[in-house]
Amino acid sequence: MSIRERLSGNEAVAIAIRQINPDVMPAFPITPSTEIAQMVATYIANGQVNTEFIPVESEHSAMSAAIGAEAAGARSLTATSSCGLALMWEVLYVAASSRLPIAMAVVNRALSSPININCDHSDSMGARDAGWIQIYSENNQEVYDNFVQAYRIAEHPSVRLPIMICQDGFYTSHAVENMELLEDREIKDFVGEYAPESYLLNSRQPLSVGAYGLPAYYMEAKRSQLEALKNAKQVTLEVAEEFARLSGRNYGLFEAYRLEDADYAMVIIGSTAGTAKDAVDKLRAEGKKAGLLKIRLFRPFPGEEIAHALKNAGFIACMDRTESFNGQCGPLGAEVKSALFNARLMPEVINYVYGIGGRDVAVENITSVFEDLIRIEQTKDAGDRYRYLSLRE
């Protein structure tokens, strides 16, 4: 039975946490994710959950404590944003390479400097190669649904890796939307109890976590970590299928929106996908074949599937909500182009940096991107393939 509610994205995560009732949550406040920890602290104070909340002194400590708890066999999680995630960098790698399925609610926000509290993806994109699974959400419903699925993917025996469930700061974390929740019982049954195969202080199977890896074994350790990460793709699909049976809501590796016959395709991540769908509808109404691919799973990157979904598009706009300072493209642009190359597809790909530091993105801005693609087709002149959208000149 579904429950209709009006909630912010942060509330949606907090409710999912309450329903899951994980064991340990160390957290440190940072805008715009602060509310999540506060709400969990309130559930604890009300006796609604028996999660142990640790008000740690920094995000580095938050991730370290989560690693300790998870290694001891406890289902653990934290929430953060921006500089908080950046401060965790060292231990993000430790969590992943120790194969600890910690869940983290990331509420995306720009990095300093200049100091900025608004949305972009530079925080989680900076952590994209830390070995975590990354899932992004468009709206509050997806935030909730993705968080509910998180542990099922992360804890799967063929995966056992930490997972970030990302949402856009303020756009979804603070904006309130109508959405549907599942019953507490349904969530408890779906997520299940955490039964780790090995954990610290298990006298029948003593274990060492974080050992030294000599050159003779380090590469093999990394390779097996990669295999586990690759397995997350199939597991994400299986968990989504089971979730669809429970909720009636379907998820895949990505969402294709009017993409099948699109000549002009946009690839995008996060809340702006909603805006982009409006732009696509508008262009379609004018007879222009626009389409959209919205990323859900970014790590591991489903390159083959994405290239296949884009195979009919001649002109593609990759939308990056971060500047990665490599001088030629953003992280999404790089992934999509290498996926297309591997599939021997040669469409025109224009990479846009948009919305960084909370720069507003309206339907007209997205429409202008599609118009750029149409113009490129007509003039056969791609111009600069790496551009900024809505930059004040």
Q: Cα–Cα distance between 220 and 85 in angstroms, integer?
A: 28
Q: 372: which 2 tokens?
A: 């750029």
Q: Cα–Cα distance between 283 and 277 in angstroms, integer?
A: 10
**Contacting range for ligand TPP; rule: CB under 6 A; set: 45-53, 71-79, 82-90, 344-352:** 82-90
Closest-CA residue to 173 (of 352, 23, 379, 34): 34
* CB 83 to ligand TPP: min, Å: 4
Q: With the C-alpha atoms ordered 14, 249, 104, 151, is the resulting torsion angle positive or negative?
A: positive
Residue whose C-beta lies closest to ligand TPP: 30
- Considering only 11, 59, 70, 142, the residue that binds ligand TPP (CB under 6 A) is 59
Q: Cα–Cα distance between 271 and 167 in angstroms, integer?
A: 8
CB atoms near residue 69 (< 10 Å): 23
Q: Is 34 in the site for other proteins (CB under 8 A)?
A: yes
Q: 103: which 2 tokens?
A: 């869940």
Q: Is 48 in the site for other proteins (CB under 8 A)?
A: no
**Contacting range for other proteins; rule: CB under 8 A; set: 54-62, 155-163, 181-189, 288-296:** 54-62
- Considering only 74, 83, 200, 334, the residue that binds other proteins (CB under 8 A) is 83
Tell me the per-residue interface mask from 104 to 143 with other proteins, x by CB under 8 A, - otherwise: --------x--x----------------------------
Q: Is 30 in the site for ligand TPP (CB under 6 A)?
A: yes
Rounded to 5 degrees, what angle do the CA atoms 207, 210, 211 make?
80
Closest-CA residue to 13 (of 185, 131, 150): 150
Q: Is 87 in the site for ligand TPP (CB under 6 A)?
A: yes
- Considering only 37, 66, 329, 339, the residue that binds other proteins (CB under 8 A) is 37
Q: Is 38 in the site for ligand TPP (CB under 6 A)?
A: no
Q: Which is nearer to other proteins, 113 or 205 (CB)?
A: 113
Q: Cα–Cα distance between 204 and 206 in angstroms, integer?
A: 6
Question: Quick check: bond before 32 cis, omega within 30?
Answer: yes
From ligand TPP, other proteins, none, interface partner of 38 (C-beta below 5 to 8 A by class): other proteins
Size of the site for ligand TPP (CB under 6 A): 7
Beta bridge partners of 163: 103, 133
- Considering only 57, 197, 261, 393, the residue that binds other proteins (CB under 8 A) is 57
Q: Which is nearer to ligand TPP, 59 or 138 (CB)?
A: 59
Q: Is 63 in the site for ligand TPP (CB under 6 A)?
A: no
Is the Cβ–Cβ distance between 339 and 306 less than 8 Å? yes
**Amino acid in the structure at residue 339:** A
* CB 57 to other proteins: min, Å: 4
Exposed/middle/buried for residue 18 (C-beta within 10 Å: 0-12, 13-18, 19+): buried
Q: Which is nearer to other proteins, 18 or 160 (CB)?
A: 18
Beta bridge partners of 353: 320, 388
What are the residues binding other proteins (CB under 8 A)? 27-31, 34, 37-38, 41-42, 45, 53, 55, 57-58, 83, 112, 115
